[in-house]
Structure 1
Amino acid sequence: MKLETAVWAVISLVILYLTWETVKPVISPIIIAVTLAYILYPLHERLSDKVGNRWSAFILTGVLTVISFLFILGFALWINDIKLSLAEYVDTFFSWLLGIHLPPATYDLTMRISQAITERFNAYVLGYTYSLPKLALQVVVMVFAFYGVLVNAIEIKNELYSLLPPANRELAQKLVESGARTLHYMLRGWLLVSIGKGIMMALAFYIYGISDAGGAIAAGILTVILELLPLVGGWMVWLGGAFYLYTVGRLGAALALTLYGATLISPMPDVFLVKKLGRRQWGVNALVSIVGIFGGYIAFGFVGVIIGPLSLSLLLTLVDEWKKEKSRGRTRR
């Protein structure tokens, strides 16, 4: 009996290993697909009432397919310009951050994060620059996964809840609720708003002639990143652009960009949106949010921006439950 159990354990481990090796190359596009499906599911529900579940998923998948392959085209045309401009913007941001007399421990941590982000970004871009077919294949996987998640969303949700362990069902439900709450604020809240601000920033940089198309896209990406972080925001990008316009003698354009940025990017929109979307800390403190975003990116790439804060949110939920259980144990005594 023990030999049979050992054999089945080995077979199970081999199957799990082969499955992981098969899924590992496409795990990022699957995560992105699930994320996009989560963001767009309310739209899918409204559209399903009019055209049906499958047709709604098909329409949204078609739109995603067109946008994705336009992205590949833009990636091939502008990736080098985006890479150089974004690296320059990030270096400027961290140079400013390191120059405000941070405590020694915070200074060292910030310096390491700066170096790690630059290295990771260069490796990430370089890996795709010479392998556009790989990028195209991942887009195909993402599109099919997106359609599958939308069509089977209710069945997937029911299946996940059925897998919750009966013995610790309350804790499992709290973890699910914590993750859902974090995803709601981060994805359907600030991420969507941040992407909109990034698009407006990219248009402003291009229209005002601050940079070419690649540099404008890089400014938009940096805006999205800064908007996701607590304590900072997209105002740093438009302020830098306005300062550049001022230094080259274009005072009117600098004032126009300042008005545009303050009213449409940051901080004016945040004043009106914070009550509806919640604060950007997503229920955790600012330091944990920063560590989650930067640490997640360094560890997992761009999908780490989602994985990092989510995993830390789940960890904090576990810690809170452990404290409550410990407190209840003392009370019983």
Structure 2
Amino acid sequence: MELEAAIWLSISLIILYLVWETISPIISPIIIALTLAYILYPLHERLSSMIGNRISAFTLTGVLTIITFLFIIGYALWINDVKQSLAYYINAFFQWLLGFHLPMAIYDLIQRLAKDIPKRFEGYVLGYTYSLPKLSFQAVVMLFAFYGALVNARGLSEEVHSLIPQGNRELALKLMGSTEKTLHSILRGWLAFSILKGTAIAVGFYAFSVSSAGGAIAVGIFTVIFELLPVIGGWMIWLAGAVYLFTSGHALVALAFSAYSAVFVSPVPDYLLRSKMGERETGINSFISLVGIFGGYLAFGIVGIILGPVALSLLGTLLEEWKKTKELKARTSS
């Protein structure tokens, strides 16, 4: 009996290894697809009630296909300009940040980020610049995974719930609830809001001739990153652009750009939308979220922005359950 169990364990491990080797090269586009599916699922539900599940998923996938196609074209045309602009902005920001008298631990973390972020970005750029077919292939994988996730969302949810062991069902449901709250806060709250701001500021920088197309895209990316940080936000970036226009002798353009940015970037969207998003965000501490995002990025790259906060949230849930178990044991023993 023990020999049979050992054989089946070995076979299972071999199968898991082969599966991992198969999906590991495409794990990033799959995670991105699932992330987008999660963000857009409420819209998919509304469309499904009107036009049907498959047609709704096909429509959203079609829109995503067009956006992805435009992204690949833009990547090929502007990536070098974006890379140079982003490296310049990141270096300038970190040099400004390091000028403050910060605690040594924070100072060391900022120094590490200042070195690591440009290197990682350079690695991503070089990896895809010389292999656009690879980028296109991963885009196709992402689109198919996105469509499949939307079409089979309910079935996948039921399947996951059916796999929960009955003995630990309560703990498993709490872990799933913690993951749901974290994903809701990070993806449908911060990420969606930040991407909208980044897109708006990129359009503004290009439309008002503050920078080239590549520089505007870099500014949009930088805005998304800035929205992670407390106090700092998109308002600092558009203010710097307005000052640049004003000092360049374009006072009226600077005024128009400021009005546009105030309405579409900050502070008007913060007052109109942030409060509504805040009502839906529960179960995640902002500091833990920040640590999870940056730590996840350093450990796993882009997908770590999602994995990091989720991992910390799950750890918090496990610690809470452990404390409750200890308290229960203490009560029963007394």
| Aligned twin of 2:96 | 96
Q: Structure 2 vs 1, CA of residues 45 and 280 (structure 1 numbering), >3 Å: closer, same or farther?
A: closer
| Aligned twin of 1:180 | 180
CA distance in 2, matches of 1:283, 1:325: 20
| Aligned twin of 1:64 | 64
SS, match of residue 232 in structure 2: coil
| Aligned twin of 1:138 | 138
Within 5 Å, give how 1:104-123 maps onto structure 2.
104-123=104-123
2:294 is aligned with 1:294 = yes
Report if aligned partners of 2:288, 2:312 keep a CA contact under 8 Å in 1.
yes
CA distance in 1, matches of 2:45, 2:286: 34
Deviation at 1:324, TM superposition (A): 2.3
Deviation at 1:12, TM superposition (A): 1.1
Report if aligned partners of 2:185, 2:281 keep a CA contact under 8 Å in 1.
no
Letter in 2 for 1:20: W
Report if aligned partners of 2:98, 2:110 keep a CA contact under 8 Å in 1.
yes
| Aligned twin of 1:165 | 165
2:26 is aligned with 1:32 = no
Deviation at 1:9, TM superposition (A): 1.4
SS, match of residue 249 in structure 1: coil
Deviation at 1:299, TM superposition (A): 2.0
Letter in 1 for 2:308: G
Q: Structure 2 vs 1, CA of residues 69 and 163 (structure 1 numbering), >3 Å: closer, same or farther?
A: same
Q: Structure 2 vs 1, CA of residues 284 and 92 (structure 1 numbering), >3 Å: closer, same or farther?
A: farther
Moved more, 318-327 or 306-315: 318-327
Within 5 Å, give how 1:264-303 maps onto structure 2.
264-278=264-278, 283-303=283-303
TM-score computed with the length of structure 1 as normaliser: 0.94
Deviation at 1:4, TM superposition (A): 2.0
Residues 10-46 of structure 1, C-alpha deviations (whole Å, 9 max, x = no match): 1111111010000000001111111111111111112
Q: Structure 2 vs 1, CA of residues 2 and 286 (structure 1 numbering), >3 Å: closer, same or farther?
A: same
**Superposition RMSD in Å:** 1.8
Residues 38-84 of structure 1, C-alpha deviations (whole Å, 9 max, x = no match): 11111111211222111111111111112111111111111111111
Report if aligned partners of 1:86, 1:222 keep a CA contact under 8 Å in 2.
yes
Report if aligned partners of 2:189, 2:281 keep a CA contact under 8 Å in 1.
no
Q: Structure 2 vs 1, CA of residues 61 and 226 (structure 1 numbering), >3 Å: closer, same or farther?
A: same
Moved more, 149-158 or 62-71: 62-71
Moved more, 5-14 or 243-252: 243-252
Deviation at 1:149, TM superposition (A): 0.9
| Aligned twin of 2:210 | 210
SS, match of residue 228 in structure 1: coil
CA distance in 2, matches of 1:125, 1:330: 56
- Report the count of equivalent residues: 333
Moved more, 142-151 or 323-332: 323-332
| Aligned twin of 2:155 | 155
CA distance in 1, matches of 2:14, 2:331: 47
Within 5 Å, give how 1:234-249 maps onto structure 2.
234-249=234-249
CA distance in 1, matches of 2:121, 2:279: 28
SS, match of residue 62 in structure 1: helix
Q: Structure 2 vs 1, CA of residues 324 and 65 (structure 1 numbering), >3 Å: closer, same or farther?
A: same
Deviation at 1:282, TM superposition (A): 6.0
Report if aligned partners of 2:182, 2:284 keep a CA contact under 8 Å in 1.
no
Letter in 2 for 1:291: V
Letter in 1 for 2:19: T
Deviation at 1:250, TM superposition (A): 2.3
CA distance in 2, matches of 1:141, 1:185: 26
Letter in 2 for 1:298: L
Moved more, 133-142 or 301-310: 301-310
CA distance in 2, matches of 1:208, 1:94: 26
Residues 290-329 of structure 1, C-alpha deviations (whole Å, 9 max, x = no match): 2211222222222221111121122222222222222233
2:95 is aligned with 1:81 = no
Letter in 2 for 1:113: L
2:322 is aligned with 1:322 = yes
CA distance in 1, matches of 2:331, 2:226: 45
Report if aligned partners of 1:281, 1:289 keep a CA contact under 8 Å in 2.
no
CA distance in 1, matches of 2:223, 2:270: 14
TM-score computed with the length of structure 2 as normaliser: 0.94
Deviation at 1:142, TM superposition (A): 0.6
CA distance in 1, matches of 2:136, 2:109: 36
